[in-house]
Structure 1
Amino acid sequence: MVLRGEAFMKTFNIKKIVISVVIALAVLVVGASSLHAVPAGHTGVVTRFGAVDDTVLSEGLHVVIPFVTRVVDMNNQVTKAEVVSASASKDLQTVNSTVALNYRIESLSAASVYQNIGVNYENVVVIPAIQEAVKSVMAQYTAEELITLRQTVGAEIQEEISSKLTPYGFSTQSVNIVDFQFSEEFNAAIEAKQTAQQNALKAEQDLARVKVEAEQKIAEAQAEAESYRLKSQEITDQMLKMEFIDKWDGKLPVVVSDGQSLFNIDSILDSAASSAGSTSDSASSTTE
């Protein structure tokens, strides 16, 4: 009897320990289920028995009702969606464009987005909105304008996307046109046009250079002619003076001033040269 009693007590103690452990584990599970931590940059959308509650949870640790309340964390951080879209320009050129959209979900709209769209909102709403906006805007510009007015085109695409996503609770931060791809024929035409423009610019620059060089040569010729004229004039004057000296009879004019004779040989030579020059000119005129 004593042995049976001891065996019963041992069995009872083991069961007691097992039950205690099970209860402790259950308490831990329930306790853990009653706490939810919303990550930074997220909004916790609360559902009760599957229905979305109007109450949303901010960042941090919150107490919820286990097995009744479920929290879905919706990302409010800026997210990038990049789309490759094929469209036609105004002049019917095929354009493959890569467009990147930076967007986010407004915190106050997190519950509405989850309820009406779900967690796959990017594929359901965002990407189709980008594709539609790109096609709509591209059709308003020629292929060449898409290149030259790239910034304007990007701004219009963002405006078009915003008009589509804002009603759902999304905020568009920026749109970047990452790349434009055109047909090989269009690229060849653009390259040929650029080459022609470069050749025309080079020809214009060459013409301007030739004009400047010609003006420089004219200026040099004029300066050389003027120098030659001055030298010729100087030589002519000297020759006239020499001719006068050869013909001079040695007599000097006398000027009396205060009882003294004065004369200036330079003035006499200059006067004689002038006279000789005049005589030469008269003779030439008579001969003609």
Structure 2
Amino acid sequence: MAILNTPSAQSQSGAIKIIKYIAILIAAFILISWLNPFVVINAGNRGVITTFGKVNPRVLEEGLHFRIPIVQQVAEINVQIQKGEGDGDAASRDLQQVHAKIALNYHLIPDRVAETYQSIGDLNSVGDRIIIPAVQEATKATTAKYTAEELISKRPEVRDQISQFMRDRLLRHGIQIDEFSIVNFRFSESFNQAIEAKTTAEQLKLKAERDLERIRVEAEQKIASAKAEAESLRLQKQEITPDLLKLREIENQRVALEKWDGRLPQVTGGSVPLINIK
């Protein structure tokens, strides 16, 4: 007996095909999502490709990129400016103990992140594995060239030398320094006391020198005043003549007569006369 292709049978067959297509699309979507062949590199980052663990020298820029699923993996690396700090203990040229605290801003060179990733691995450990050892080595190498007092008086020069040492050291690992500063130089307590005593002595010496200069100036002023007075007396003595003395005597007598009230002085007896002038 023949089977007829009724409209109902045809519609069922079409529905089954549609369901198969939908199932295939869903399976393909799930497979693509699981394999994840696309990768997005965010702003301020770079991507490092590894093929079966081997680092690809090509660096992925920001944006959307394709990778071979399962075969390739992409590590996203931050190339923005970061802050790092480190402490270093060293000795000065005169064998004083020095403790330096260094602060710097740095970033990974974008074009070299694949090289940096290959040599360092976990870039979150850059501070412990690279920055701190570089600070300690730079501090020891630089402070050994200066005395403890020079480390204070020549601080900008010391900072520049430590900075240049660290720039050369970190550049080998693809790290570039943006800002660098010496937060603090700390010395032993005995050295700090010696510096304080020396500063006090210098201040006292400076005060004594100022006092000595003031006394010298005052003495010179007195000498100059005495010389001027002596010169004045000498000139006056040269101008005294018998006529001038006679004139002065007459003037004194005239002044005495002007002051006399017309009464004669009273004299009492005795070997020494007593004159009562009211």
| TM-score, reference length from structure 2 | 0.70
Structure 1 residues 26 and 227: CA distance shift in structure 2, 3 A: same
TM-superposed deviation, 1:228: 4.6
| Alignment counterpart, residue 26 of structure 1, candidates 5, 30, 42 | 30
Query: Quick check: 1:71 aligned with 2:77?
Result: no
**2:160 corresponds to:** 155
| Alignment counterpart, residue 133 of structure 1, candidates 126, 138, 162 | 138
CA distance in 2, matches of 1:39, 1:208: 72
TM-superposed deviation, 1:229: 4.9
Structure 1 residues 243 and 136: CA distance shift in structure 2, 3 A: closer
**2:183 corresponds to:** 178
- Matched to 2:98, the amino acid is V
TM-superposed deviation, 1:71: 2.0
**1:256 corresponds to:** none
**2:120 corresponds to:** 117
Per-residue CA distance 1:205-232 (angstroms, 9 max, x = gap):
1111111111222223333444455566
> Which runs of no fewer than 5 residues in structure 1 stay unpaired?
1-11, 246-288
Aligned pairs, number: 236
TM-superposed deviation, 1:184: 0.7
| Alignment counterpart, residue 226 of structure 2, candidates 213, 221, 229 | 221
Structure 1 residues 216 and 68: CA distance shift in structure 2, 3 A: same
- Matched to 2:202, the amino acid is Q
Per-residue CA distance 1:111-149 (angstroms, 9 max, x = gap):
011112112233222221221121122222221121112
TM-superposed deviation, 1:243: 8.3
Per-residue CA distance 1:151-178 (angstroms, 9 max, x = gap):
2222222232233222222223343111
**2:85 corresponds to:** 82
TM-superposed deviation, 1:203: 0.8
1:166-245 maps to which residues of 2 (within 5 A)? 166-229=171-234, 239-240=244-245, 242=247
Secondary structure at 2:56 match in 1: strand
TM-superposed deviation, 1:198: 0.9
| TM-score, reference length from structure 1 | 0.68
**1:92 corresponds to:** 95
TM-superposed deviation, 1:38: 2.2
Structure 1 residues 72 and 233: CA distance shift in structure 2, 3 A: same
**1:249 corresponds to:** none
> Which runs of no fewer than 5 residues in structure 2 stay unpaired?
1-15, 251-278
| Alignment counterpart, residue 45 of structure 2, candidates 33, 42, 47 | 42
Per-residue CA distance 1:238-276 (angstroms, 9 max, x = gap):
63463899xxxxxxxxxxxxxxxxxxxxxxxxxxxxxxx
CA distance in 2, matches of 1:214, 1:179: 49
Percent of residue pairs identical: 46
Structure 1 residues 242 and 137: CA distance shift in structure 2, 3 A: closer
Alpha-carbon contact 1:113-1:168 (below 8 Å) kept: yes
CA distance in 2, matches of 1:207, 1:243: 47
Alpha-carbon contact 1:87-1:94 (below 8 Å) kept: yes
CA distance in 2, matches of 1:189, 1:156: 27
Alpha-carbon contact 1:41-1:76 (below 8 Å) kept: yes
Structure 1 residues 36 and 224: CA distance shift in structure 2, 3 A: farther
